[in-house]
Structure 1
Amino acid sequence: MVKKIAITMGDPAGISPEIIIKALHKVDAGVATVVVGCARTLQRVIDLKLVDPIIINVIQKVDEADFTKGILNIIDVPLDDPDGLVPGVVQKQAGDLAYRCVKRATELALAGDVQAIATAPLNKEALHLAGHMYPGHTELLAKLTNSKDYAMVLYTEKLKVIHVSTHIALRKFLDTLSCERVATVIEMADKFLKHVGIAKPRIAVAGVNPHAGENGLFGDEEVKIINPTVEKMAAKGIDVVGACAPDTVYLQCHEGRYDMVVAMYHDQGHIPLKLLGFYDGVNITAGLPFIRTSADHGTAFDIAWTGKAKSESMEESIRLAIQLA
């Protein structure tokens, strides 16, 4: 069976239209992709000559697509006012479109019409302006699929990170950190790595505090929560160690000692990965009923519709979606 991938437009006022077109020019010929987004917006970007030209093929259903190289198949989800869209500006209609594209792509995936989704960046402020009060793609997709246990994965060839928490204030994170959540994420890490072809995954769990707490000297989350949970999961047969000092464990993973790091909170995992793999990093949601990948960066309103956006992360997200599907 040909693996079909839905690509959501994300926020059309940002760099998403540009990086989608650039990425589709660079992925292998015959890759079966269908964009879910505003056809008029993509045409506006093409008309500005910001990207190499591509033929837009508007379709109603996935099985109407033409997967010939140089053709962009799109299920049209139009903006309320396509010609009124202002590049580089947070807008309600753009946030609403980003939501509707994810919702439509999710419907396609749940119906089996596509085997994976690759999402282009959306803007959280625009999403909220439109009344869709989600912190980001991860939580939105979990809600649309009724997924209870899920986690954000950041993926590069040499560094892979899975998060215990993501879009939550640090003060609240410390109050909600639990043995149950850490155990769930360790198990998801093990299953994910095996799914991508690592037969015997080696997992490191980062501590919360400096030096992983120094046996309670700088905080007791490691002693009370992380260490006992790591021991419990290791007893179940998972190759996992921790709590590891957060300031060294990511470099150790990058150099090959581990296959994945369990990060405790958003920036603890994002900063090292974006430093080492900003342009080719891919965001994956583990725990959904289908594969979801994403470009691992934002909407970059400051360079929207200028031709300056780099598409490497979007390209990798499409390739990885096909591989994992």
Structure 2
Amino acid sequence: VTTHLALQKVPVVLSREKVLEKIRLGYHFLKDDLKIKAPRIGVCGLNPHNGEAGIFGDEEKRIIKPAIAAAGKDGINCIGPVSSDVIFHQAVQQKKYDLVVAMYHDQGLIPLKTLYFREGVNITIGLPIIRTSPDHGTAFDIAYQGKADSTSMKEAIKYAARLVVAKRNKNSP
């Protein structure tokens, strides 16, 4: 939901509207671009164990649950908040979700990079253009040293091509 932001600022910036917006963006990407007929979206909680009934925070109750309820009223199959120590196992190992909405940068990227470090792809959804990029960032620290691994870049190009084909098929008469 948030992007590159100090962790202490995440609860301040997080809002029901922002969570709902990301759920909707993810849903439309899955349904319209990836052609998943009935997308299943898992939504992370923010705090450890979803706040333990307010002991660790109330963002789940105040912000995340109302956003999930609003998404449900829109007809979006959206489950959560689910504790982030469980949700990625459910998504990857149990195939329970087609997409996971994380509340902050590292919450979503740690599991992705643990599982798919070399081939991870960043996809920016909600833009009028298709935008993919390698997941590892610029890697200026290893530029011109012959150490770079191009796998993520190749995967980003392949994924962009896949999205172009899907978009073309969607817009065909």
Deviations 1:174-210 (A, max 9, x none): 1121111111000001001111121211000000000
Separation in 1, partners of 2:35, 2:121 = 17
Q: 1:226 aligns with which of 64, 67, 70?
A: 64
What's 2:159 paired with? 320
Q: 1:211 aligns with which of 19, 27, 49?
A: 49
Separation in 2, partners of 1:295, 1:214 = 36
In terms of mean alpha carbon deviation, does 166-175 or 263-272 score higher? 166-175
Moved over 3 A (4+): none
The reply on whether 1:181 has 2:21 as its aligned counterpart is no
What's 2:75 paired with? 237
Separation in 2, partners of 1:273, 1:244 = 17
Separation in 2, partners of 1:236, 1:289 = 23
Deviations 1:34-91 (A, max 9, x none): xxxxxxxxxxxxxxxxxxxxxxxxxxxxxxxxxxxxxxxxxxxxxxxxxxxxxxxxxx
User: Which structure 2 residues correspond to residues 107-146 of structure 1 after superposition, within 5 A?
Assistant: none
Separation in 2, partners of 1:222, 1:204 = 14
What's 2:167 paired with? none
Separation in 2, partners of 1:208, 1:176 = 12
What's 1:201 paired with? 39
Change (3 A) 1:193 1:302: same
What's 1:79 paired with? none
Please tell me the root mean square deviation across aligned C-alpha atoms, in Å. 1.2
Aligned residues of 2:121 and 2:132 also touching (Cα < 8 A): yes
Deviations 1:4-36 (A, max 9, x none): xxxxxxxxxxxxxxxxxxxxxxxxxxxxxxxxx
User: Which structure 2 residues correspond to residues 92-171 of structure 1 after superposition, within 5 A?
Assistant: 164-171=1-8
Separation in 2, partners of 1:165, 1:292 = 18
Q: 1:254 aligns with which of 74, 77, 92?
A: 92
Instruction: Output the amino acid matched with 2:35.
Output: G
Unaligned runs of 5+ in 2: 165-173
What's 1:311 paired with? 150
What's 1:293 paired with? 132
What's 1:279 paired with? 118
Aligned residues of 2:2 and 2:13 also touching (Cα < 8 A): no
Deviations 1:273-320 (A, max 9, x none): 011111111001111110000000033344322323211110010011
Separation in 2, partners of 1:303, 1:168 = 25
- Structure possessing the higher radius of gyration over alpha carbons: 1
Separation in 1, partners of 2:140, 2:7 = 27
Deviations 1:224-248 (A, max 9, x none): 1111211121122100011100111
What's 1:64 paired with? none
User: Equivalent residue of 1:190, what SS?
Assistant: helix
Instruction: Output the amino acid matched with 1:187.
Output: R
Instruction: Output the amino acid matched with 2:14.
Output: L
User: Which structure 2 residues correspond to residues 39-58 of structure 1 after superposition, within 5 A?
Assistant: none
Separation in 1, partners of 2:120, 2:35 = 18
